[in-house]
Structures are given as C-alpha cells and as structure tokens.
Structure 1
Amino acid sequence: MSDIIQLLPDSVANQIAAGEVIQRPASVVKELVENAVDAGSTEIQVIIKDAGRTLIQIIDNGCGMSETDARLAFERHATSKIKEAEDLFSIRTMGFRGEALASIAAVAQVELKTRLHGEELGTKIEIAGSKVESQEQVTCAPGSNFMVKNLFFNVPARRRFLKTNATELRHIVNEFQRIALAHPSIAFSLVHNEQTIFNLPPSNLRQRILGVIGTHANSMLLPVETDTSIVKIKGYVGKPRSARKTMGDQYFFVNNRYMRSPYFHKAVMVAYENLVPAEHCPPYFLYFEVDPQIIDVNIHPTKTEIKFEDERAVWKIVVAAVREALGKFNMVPSIDFYDAAEVQIPSVQKEGPVTEPTVHINPEYNPFNTKVRGNPDNHAPQIPSDWQSLYEGFESGAGNKDDSTSDTLILPSKENGDEDREYDDSEEVSLGENMDAGALYFQVKNKYIITSVKSGIMIIDQRRAHERILYEGFIKNIRSEASVSQHSLFPEELTFSEEDAILLREILDELRIFGFELKETKERTFAILGQPSLLRNIDASKVIDALLAAFKSGEVDPQQEVKENIALVMAKNACMPPGEVLTQVEMAELINNLFLCNSPNYTPDGKPVFTIVDNEELEKRFC
C-alpha cells in the first residue's frame, strides 16, 4: 500500500491558518495595528475602503524593517517577540505568534513599504496568495505602510459570507476602539471612503475615553483605582443612570491588551446590584496591571481571552474596587442620621436647673358642645347644614338592578392615584359570542385581568396581550407602508457611540416604516422628530436601545426578515411595563383590541396570552 500522508504546501497551510486568525476585514485591522503599536509608533493611520473589501491600509511611524526582515516577516511563525518557550510567560507585546502576516498574505494582495530610521532607501514587497511577486528598493517614509487589497480574492466562499458594509465597518470600528483605548499616548486616525471617523490625538486616559465614546459621557464617569499585591486596577465606570440596554462600552484591559471576560463582567454587575434596571449595563473601562507570569494570553487564536492564575481573588478585587468608586461619589443609597435639616435634637444645657416638661389642657372643653368654651383656639367640629342631602337615594335604591347586586364597583384608578373610582355599565364592551354581556374586569397583582365568559373564567396576561396588539399593528404598517407618526414639538436628541451610530444609519429606512423619524443633527447625535402613534406614553429612546441591542446580539438578522424582527423587538419592549394599574375602561379596551387580532391566543414568540378555566373545572373545585 502506497503512502498517503504528505505535508501540505505552505500556501495551503497559510490559508488554513487564516481561517482562524483572519475571519473578516476587522481581523486584518487588529493584527496590523497591533504590529504598528509593537513597533513603537507614535502615530498610526487606518484607511479603509468599502468596509475593508477593497482596501485596508495601515501607516505608522514605527521602527520599520530592514530588507531581510521585511521578507522574513511573511513567513509562518516568524516573530521578533519570543525566542524560547520561557518567553511565553513574560509577554508584554501585542503580537508574538508570527502568524498574522503570513495568514493575511495567503488570502489577499499585500503591498508593504518599509524603511528603517536613518536609512536612505526602504523596501517594497508585493505578495498575492502567499506568492512573492516582486521585491525592490524604493524611496518611502520611515516606518511601515501596509496595503491589503481585495481580501479573500482567492477564497470566494469566504468573501461571499461577509456581511453588509455597515456591519463589517462596525466590526472594524470596534477593533480600532479597543486598541485606541489601550494606548492613549499614541495618535490614531480612522478614515473610511475618504471620510474621517476618528481623529484621536495623544492624550490622557479620560480624554481618550471621551474621544472614543463622545464628550457627552464626561459627567457620567467615576474614577476607579486600587492597588493590591495581586493586581492593580485603574480606569472609570459609569454612574448608574448611564446604564443602557445596549452593550458596547464595556472594556477590560490587561497590561494594555484588550480582554473579553464574561466572568469579570459579572463581577462588575454584582457591584451595581440594585442600582441599575434589569438587563441594563453601565459603561466601564477597567485597566489591569498584573505580573505576566500569573496570566496566560496564549489560549485563543485572536488573543482576546486571558487566563488568570487566581481568578476568584481578582473577581473579589474587581467587585470591591467598583463598589468603592460608587460609594465614594455617593452613587450608593445611604441613610444620613446627622442631617440637621431633617431632625432637630435640642442640646443639653449644663448650666441651670433642669425643669420637668408640662402639658397644657383645657378642663372645660366639651367635644359635644357646638359653642366655643374656654380657650378660643379650641373649636368643636362644624356640621354642614346640608348634611341630609348626603343620604339622598339610599332608601329609594336608585341605580340598583336588583336587591342583591350593587350598582358600583370600586377599583383603583391610574389617573387619581389611590383615590377610588366609580364604574358604571356604560363602560362595558362586547367581546364576541363567548363573552358575557355584563362581564366585569378584575385586575390581579397588577398583572392579570380576570373576567367571566360563557364557558367559564378567562385569565389574561395584560403585558402579553399588549405585546400581541402592538405587534399586529406594526405588521399592518409594514404591509401597507403607511405608518402613522406622532411628531414631537421639542425633539429629543440622543448621542450614540460610533458603533451604534453606524448600525442606526443602516436601519433608518426600516424604522421610518414603523413611524420613527430620526435625523442625524451632528456627528453621532440623532434627533427623534417623530415616533409611532402606537407607542403612547413610551420612552422612544428605550425602544431604540432595545433594537440596537437585538441587532448586536444577533436576535435580529440584518439579512433575513428585518422588518418582522424589528416589529417583534419593538412590541416586546414597547408594551406596558410590569405592574401597570388599569382602569375598567382600559381593561375593556385592551381585551377588545386583543380579540380583534388575527392570532390573539399567543404572543409573537409563541407564549400563551390567556387561559380559560371552564365551568366543569369550577364545579369540581366545589364538590
């Protein structure tokens, strides 16, 4: 039998490696910018065309490379960062494996111009599909200039699976922000299709954070700083009111390297426990400084996951550090027992005799006497002269249908707070053949509506009923493309991160179909000119945040049934809040609108809206 095992050609092996390291254009940006940082650059430019499909260009003023190094850098596992296995436990550079350039050159057309400082000429190399096409000496600026053209030109299947330009650009912006936040002393710029997205000069940490997420967050940041024998933590966290449903401004850095860690994210959320609403997350920018020997950065191809030697200890330190920052700036509720404005306690006088307190009474006061006696300040209760009119109609039984049923039902009213409200039969609404004509509606735990039907008792989940009504209303608007928008006299302005702003620009047309009218008044700031008429008394900004969160989490696929998915997310987040108190009219209107829906039995995601306890079941309960 002949031998069947053989070594793969370098070009094929590089393409396989590229499948792990180079997943999309953002991966190329990450690897090349990290190399520029390791080269000691003080200024890095990122130029993108067509979200990286056509061109990715990285220009830096770092140390540059010699002719030999420039050629060797494109070989697999060629690196200047480590020389022996022990070096893996003391890594302080961004890259170290030597796979990035070889992987990029295997799936793209790459041109490199580089020159050492002090040299007169530099080197130009052109590589396509791992094959060196040319190498020559040229005149160029000191540093390195990488141009990556036609990414995945020789792997058409990978190119077809790239997302839309807006989606790929969001990923590029995300990677760019991570590196820019980790190195505030370096100047960064990002240009897409000749439009500048970021221009970040060298600055301190707080200024760099504001340059990335926007100056509107300046008043929302609280400094965090703690120093222990295990880890040193510094950075900033957001005030509780800055928490949003959309993720995106949550960053961990370890020795200036971005780290993704759900475990430490949970630690931050524990520190904010009972301070932010459920499913909301505050922004945070936490920088860890640790001994490289107690961490392992070599556990993931993209180097975004880091293993700590003692994660539990670091977890506790993170919780304590964030809680300390919140408490130091009075973000945690507290009780002040020494507020002189609230409680006045007389001080003890040491000089002079202590007298016994006395109580003054009027022995001549008679509460049953209508005349004023003794002290003129003491008055007997006054009885109105028309007191007899208060009892009119009680004996006649006016308004009663029969002797056994009262004509009124006292229910809590949302308009009057705790005041009672009178219900009359004129508010009843017919709900079809199965509904009792004289049915009343009872709200239980401010969550369920109970009413009688001919077959028994119906129990309705009011939030799910409202969700179904809103969803079918949105779907109707989609099909008719005639949504009703309620314009605002004073439009609310919302400022987003660049990542969220890119996504919002992508879905503006879909939102307009639902009745949202948004206009970008300035960079990353949108004014809500109008919102759907179905969303009465609903915070439009919260609905938009929920939509962005759904897109980021993959709940909404931009390429499949975008409008239906948006309708589902909007209905779920725009329905009435838990614990909503409803009046009789509102309950009747809600139930009437529910049974006008095409599918009143279930919510859009398949949960039951109501259930019926039939008459037979009721009879069994009393056997």
Structure 2
Amino acid sequence: MAILKLPREVALKIAAGEVVERPVSVVKEALENSLDAHSSRILVTLTEGGKSSIVVEDNGNGILWQEMPLVITRYATSKIATVNDLSNIKTLGYRGEAIASIAAVSRIDLRSKAKGAAEGGLLKAEGGSIVCHEQLPWKEGTRLQVDDLFFNFPARKKFLRSNLSELRKISALMRDFGAAYPAVLFSLYHNGNKIFETQGTGDRAAVLRSLWGASPETRSTTVSCGSIKLECWWQSTPGRQKNIITSFVNGRIVSDPLIRGAASAACKDFSGNWMFFFTLPPELVDVNIHPAKAEVRFRYPAEIFEAVKAASLDLQNRPTRLSFPSFWEGKELKEFVAPHLHRQALPQREEGQDLFSRVSSPELLEEVKIESWGEKSVFSPDESKIFFIAQMAAGYLLFEKNGQLIIMDPHAAHERIEYEKVLSRMKSEQFPSQKLNPPLLIPPTLASEVEEYGVELEKAGFIFEIEEGQSMLSASPALPIEGREGPLFLLRTAILTWNETGSRAMDDVIWKKWATIACKRAVKLTTHCNAAEALHLYAALQFCENPSVCPHGRPTTLVLDKYEIEQFFGREK
C-alpha cells in the first residue's frame, strides 16, 4: 500500500482519541483552562453524565472575540511561544490541542469576553468546522458547552459507560480539583441537581472534611526533600484495604507510576484516602510526556520516593487525636461501662485500723454455675466452682477453676461477646431501621455510590431523602454503633465492600465487618471490674461459638493447669 497523507478529518479524530477518552477528559481540559485563566468560580453542568451535554463556565480572564477561532485550531496557545518555554512550564495547559480535539468530535458553543474588552464573542463549531463566529454581549469570563460527544466517532462512543458511571468519574475529578484549589469555588450539577459545591475559602482541611467526611480524623503533614516540598493528607477508611491515591505536581493532577510505586511501598500498612501535593521548580519536571498531560518525568526521582516515605512515616508515628461530637463539648467524659455491669467501689481502710493487726485467709468471693445466656444470667453453686481472685493493676482478670489459673483480657472477651450477639441478630434479620433526627448529610464522595446501590442499601435498612438537592441519610440499621458518624460508617463500609468484591448481597462479609464495628463498645482494659462483673463476663464468654479469641484474632484467656504450675515450682508428683 502506498504511503498517503491522512485526510484532515482522520488526523483530527486520531489526535482527539489521544486527548478525549470520555466526558471526564473534556471536563479536565476545561477546568485546567479555567484555572490558567485565574478563575475564582467554576461551574460545571452535566446532562446524562456528560454524554449529551457538558457546560463549563468561569469568571476568568476570558478570550478576545477575534481570537476565538484560534481556540479550535491545533497548536494555537497563549501559554508558550518558544522551545525554551517547554523547560519552564508554569501553566496547566500548553500544547494548544485540547479544545481543538474536543471540537473535532462534538458540537461546541463557546462564549467569552476578555477582561476590559468592549464586546464578547460567540463561536459555534461542529466536527472541528466553524459554523458561526460573531460578536455577542457577554459577561467577563468564558462559557464552553460541549454537546453530543463522539457524535461523529461511533468507534469511541460505543465504549462510553452508563450515565451514572460517567458522572462518578467527573465528580471524583471535581472533588480532587476542589481539594487542590481550595480558594476556587467549584460547583457541579447533573440533570438539574446539585451534586456538590466547595466554598472557595482557601481552607483545604474544610474541603477534605466535606468530601471525605468529618470522621475518621483527617491528618496532614508537610515535608521537604532536596528541592521538593510535599504536602500530604490522609484519612483512614476502615473496612477497606486498598489505598486511593491522588497526586498533584505543581497544581497538575497526574497518574505517575513513580508516585504510585512510592505510595504503595510507604503506605501499604496505612490504608485510606491519600492526597499528595508536590511543589518543585518547573525545570526539574518534564510535563511534555503525553497529550493528556497525565504523566510527568522527574529529574531526581529518588527525592520523590524519599518525600513520600518521610510523609508516611510522620503520619504513622503521630498519636491519634481523639475527637468527639459537638454535644460532648463542655461535658465531663465518663468511662463507658456495659449496661449489665454495675460498679462497686473499692474497699476503703478505716481510720485507725492497723493493716497488720490480723492475718486471715481470703474469703471465697463467688462461686457460680452458668445456666443461661444474656443480661439475665443466673448463677448458682455447682461442683465446678469458678473463683474470681482479683483484677491486676494492668487490668487483666484472674480466676480459678478446678485448680486452673485463668487470666482474662476483659476487653478482648467483651469484644467477642458483643461481636457474636450482633452477628447472631443480623443473621436472623432482627435489626430494624432506626430513624435519624436530624438526618445526616451524605458526603459527596458517597452520594453517587448511594445512587448506584440504592435498592440494595434500602434492603439493608438504610433510608435516604433529598433536601435542597443534597442526599441525606434519614434512617440506618439499628446497630449499637457509638457516635454521630456511626450510621455513615456503616453506609461507607457496605459500599466499599461491594466495590471491592463486586457483590451486592448482604452476605457474611458485610455482617462480620458490621459486627466488628459494633464490638468497639466493649469495656476497656483499664475499666475496673468487681467480682459480679468479672464473673458475668466469664459466664457470657462461655456461650460464644469461639470464646478463645476476639474478633481480631487476639486471645481472650490464658489458662495455666495445676500440673503446669506445680511443674514450674518443682512440686509435681
């Protein structure tokens, strides 16, 4: 076959295929242009996940109407002018082909007015060809509307996913940009409904709390390594082992294998949401790697690895800061005690009593026989006697039974008891929904997932409602989870489990995770237990299916036989 020069239409579609993969690619390029134009407010409006229409509107510097045709001309840009500029790129865009590629596979409507200009302009194009260009009264800033994406490129259009799937990708991208540029107000609407909005106050911590949720705690650190400065943010995601890593290099969102590798190595035992914001001189990073500008090359890659490692170690070694809901503020926090346990004051020495005035054998504290399970357990004398000896200063409980010395971890034991009680009730479907008053706002990171798993979640006991365009959780399974964020914790755990397993069933995996969460209410090792409490705990543990270990695999009891004790002291017969 002879070598031929490709027709313009074919060449444009090939170029577009490298830059525009799906609707989220259009939004990314438009956001970067808006940020390069120093916008402080960016509004994105979608129809049918962006497959039918994408509108990105900003209040940035705008475009002169006479220059608007250059916007859809390949390799036309205001960002660079010479070869030397390629080694000192300080803008997000620079290639001069993004909007041209988008215009080649869609119908666009571009309206803009440059700051200080007398008139704005209108440009319409279909398949890369201009169909209208004229002056138009417009406010300062730019509005780009992209309709019928891939209308003339069926080979690419058939690979688009569902409206909800495309929306989720765009929503995730917008959230990432909202965290990277907290001083910019980002808004996202879909089919007339507001998905989320940042405040544009410059408070990155507040943005991440609104996106990730206020609980668990979000941590941050800033480290420097050579010429690189790294600002790192992390929030744990209990119930999920996989890390979600988002990276920005000099304000540019990237998916770089070096950063992913460094994060995977340094953060493998610290799962959760991670955001890395790298700042380094532009001459030390090459961004001209791929048309989509998603990959970069670092001149000193070892510094990147060391910076990520240092940030991870700093966060892991930092003690956890305890946070409580607002209703605890100003109130004395009291130690939690299980409902069926009753406190007994420690004995006090009477004034004038000589502690060495008499020596006698200790009294038999209790002797019990286990007859029933639950909070109304009955204890009565039996041949098999269980003696509660004492509670160690370290918190462990000491018992004697048939010559055996039994050492119990009360926290591990109570965890096992609570875990099996909750698991038993869940498997028998005895958990009704519990109304939340007031309803809880669902973070944007979960809102789109809730829509996808709505039917399954309602079967599990969650009830949702929409208030002023925002998703709210109005009821959740009535599990004994402490804290205001407990219901959202259950919701997040179910969704993460389904995402990881591909299942949509309320199976053993979710039941066990929920039961593990519920067992956090267990008494602490430092909680003082009197004889009645200790014996009740021991009795309840014996009715568990697996009394030897807690739900996390730690032993509940250590048993020393009489023979082992006698052998140690050289008294065996």
| TM-score class normalised by the smaller sequence | 0.5 to 0.7
Aligned: 1:260 with 2:259: no
Aligned to 2:381: none
Equivalent AA in structure 2 for residue 508 of structure 1:
G
Counterpart residue number, 1:379: 359
CA distance in 1: counterparts of 2:445 and 2:117, whole angstroms: 40
Aligned pairs (5 A) from 1:58-457: 58-206=56-204, 209-210=207-208, 212-213=210-211, 216=214, 220-238=217-235, 243=238, 245=240, 250-261=245-256, 263-265=258-260, 267-268=262-263, 276=270, 280-281=271-272, 283-325=273-315, 327=317, 377-381=357-361
- For residue 509 of structure 1, the aligned residue among 448, 455, 470 is 455
The 2-side partners of 1:495 and 1:420 are apart by: 52
Residues in 1 aligned to 2:140 and 2:475: alpha-carbon distance in whole angstroms: 48
* CA distance 1:486–1:247, shift in 2 (3 Å): same
Which residue is equivalent to 2:464? Answer: 519
Question: Per-residue deviation at 1:228?
Answer: 3.9
SS of 1:47's partner is strand
Q: Cα distance, 1:325 vs. partner?
A: 4.7
- Per the alignment, do residues 518 and 306 of structure 1 end up closer, same or farther by CA in structure 2, a change over 3 Å counting? farther
Q: CA offset at residue 42 of structure 1?
A: 2.5
1: distance between equivalents of 2:188 and 2:355?
84
Deviations 1:452-507 (A, max 9, x none): xxxxxxxxxxxxxx9xx99xx99xxxxxxxx9562155769876541321111221
Farther-moved stretch of structure 1 (89-98 vs 206-215): 206-215
Distance 1:573 1:489 in 2: 18
Give me the whole-angstrom Cα distance separating, in 1, the residues matched to 2:315 and 2:493. Answer: 28
1:498 aligned to which of 441, 444, 448 = 444
What code does the residue aligned with 1:512 have?
E
1:509, distance to aligned residue in structure 2 (A): 0.8
> Does the 8 Å contact 1:213/1:498 carry over to 2?
yes
User: Aligned to 2:309, what secondary structure does the other structure show?
Assistant: helix
Question: Is the contact made by 2:247 and 2:255 (CA closer than 8 Å) also made in structure 1?
Answer: yes
Query: CA–CA distance in 2 between the matches of 1:193 and 1:570?
Result: 34
The equivalent residue for 2:477 is: 530
Alignment correspondent of 1:462: none
One-letter identity of the residue aligned with 1:105? A
The residue type equivalent to 2:496 in the other structure is A
Q: TM-score, normalised by structure 2?
A: 0.65
Deviations 1:430-464 (A, max 9, x none): xxxxxxxxxxxxxxxxxxxxxxxxxxxxxxxxxxx
**Contact preservation (8 Å) 2:186, 2:198:** yes
Which whole-Å deviations, capped at 9, do the CAs of 1:193-222 have from their partners, x for residues lacking one? 2222333333224355247516625x8233
Find the counterpart in structure 2 of residue 399 from structure 1: none
**CA gap 1:246/1:542 in 2 versus in 1, 3 angstroms:** farther
* Distance across 1 between alignment mates of 2:82 and 2:446: 43
Going from structure 1 to structure 2, the CA distance change for 1:17 and 1:143 (only over 3 Å counts) comes to same
1:486 alignment partner in structure 2: 431
Q: Distance in 1 between matches of 2:21 and 2:144?
A: 18
Residue by residue over 1:558-617, the C-alpha shift from the partner in whole angstroms, topping out at 9 and shown as x without a partner, is: xxxxxxx323x8434434899x99979848xxxxxxxxxxxxxxxxxxxxxxxxxxxxxx
Task: Name the stretch that deviates more: 197-206 or 10-19.
Answer: 197-206
* Change in 2 beyond 3 A, CA 1:501/1:59: same
Question: SS where residue 310 of structure 2 aligns?
Answer: helix
Of the three residues 508, 511, 518, the one matched with 1:571 is: 508
Report how far residue 153 of structure 1 moved.
1.8
* CA distance, structure 1, for counterparts of residue 268 and residue 27 of structure 2: 37
**Conserved? CA contact 2:218–2:233, under 8 Å:** yes
SS of residue matched to 1:216 = coil
Task: Answer yes or no: is the 8 Å Cα contact 2:436–2:473 preserved in 1.
Answer: no
Q: Is the 8 A contact 1:44 1:58 kept in 2?
A: yes
Is the Cα–Cα contact under 8 Å of residues 191 and 198 in structure 1 kept in the other structure?
yes
Are the aligned partners of 1:213 and 1:496 in contact in 2 as well (CA < 8 Å)?
Answer: no
Which has the larger Rg?
1
Which amino acid in the other structure matches residue 305 of structure 2?
A: W
Report how far residue 527 of structure 1 moved: 4.8
Conserved 8 A contact 2:434-2:478: no
Q: TM-score, normalised by structure 1?
A: 0.60
Find the residue that maps to 1:519 and give its secondary structure. strand
CA distance in 2, matches of 1:383, 1:18: 87
Mapping of 1:465-484 within 5 angstroms?
A: 484=429
CA contact (8 A) 1:247 1:549 kept: no
Q: Distance in 1 between matches of 2:303 and 2:286?
A: 16
- Per the alignment, in what secondary structure is the counterpart of residue 501 of structure 1? helix
Alignment partner, residue 30 of structure 1? 28
What amino acid maps onto 2:63 in structure 1?
Answer: M
* Offset, 1:418: 8.9
The alpha-carbon distance between structure 1 residues 13 and 486, as it changes in their structure 2 partners (threshold 3 A), is: same
Inter-partner Cα distance in structure 1 for 2:314 and 2:221 = 8
SS of 2:221's equivalent in the other structure is strand
Give the Cα–Cα distance (whole angstroms) in 2 for the partners of residues 159 and 382 of structure 1.
84
Q: Deviations over 1:70-119 (max 9, x none)?
A: 10121222222233333222111111222211211121110111222222
Q: CA deviation at 1:35?
A: 0.8
Q: Which residue of 1 aligns with 2:417?
A: none
* 1:552/1:486 CA distance change after superposition, 3 Å: closer
Whole-angstrom CA distance in 2 between matches of 1:570 and 1:306: 43
SS of corresponding position for 1:566: coil
User: For residues 586 and 229 of structure 1, do their structure 2 counterparts lie closer, same or farther at Cα, with a shift above 3 Å needed?
Assistant: closer
The one-letter code matched in structure 1 to 2:120 is G
Q: 1:56 aligns with which of 54, 57, 64?
A: 54
With over 3 angstroms needed to count, the CA separation of the structure-2 counterparts of 1:421 and 1:502, relative to structure 1, is farther
Provide closer, same or farther for how the CA distance between residues 273 and 171 of structure 1 changes in structure 2, counting only shifts above 3 A: closer
Residues 519 and 202 of structure 1: CA distance in aligned 2, closer, same or farther (over 3 Å) = closer
Q: Answer whether contact 1:38 1:94 (CA < 8 A) is retained.
A: yes
Gaps in structure 1 of 5+ consecutive residues = 333-373, 388-407, 411-415, 423-465, 475-482, 533-538, 557-564, 588-623
Partners of 1:306 and 1:417 lie apart in 2 by 58
Contact 1:75 1:102 in 2 (8 A): yes
Letter in 2 for 1:35: N
Give deviations 1:489-543, integer Å, cap 9, x for gaps: 5769876541321111221113334x333324764553553379xxxxxx98777
Of stretches 143-152 and 224-233 in structure 1, the one that deviates more from structure 2 is: 224-233
Mapped contact 2:232–2:311 kept (Cα < 8 A): no
Number of residue pairs the alignment of both structures matches: 439
Does the CA contact (< 8 Å) of 1:22 and 1:103 recur in 2?
A: yes
Cα drift, residue 54 of structure 1: 2.2
Q: Which runs of 5+ in 2 are unaligned?
A: 323-353, 368-383, 387-395, 403-419, 480-485, 520-539, 547-573
- The 1:318/1:494 distance shift into structure 2, 3 A limit, reads farther
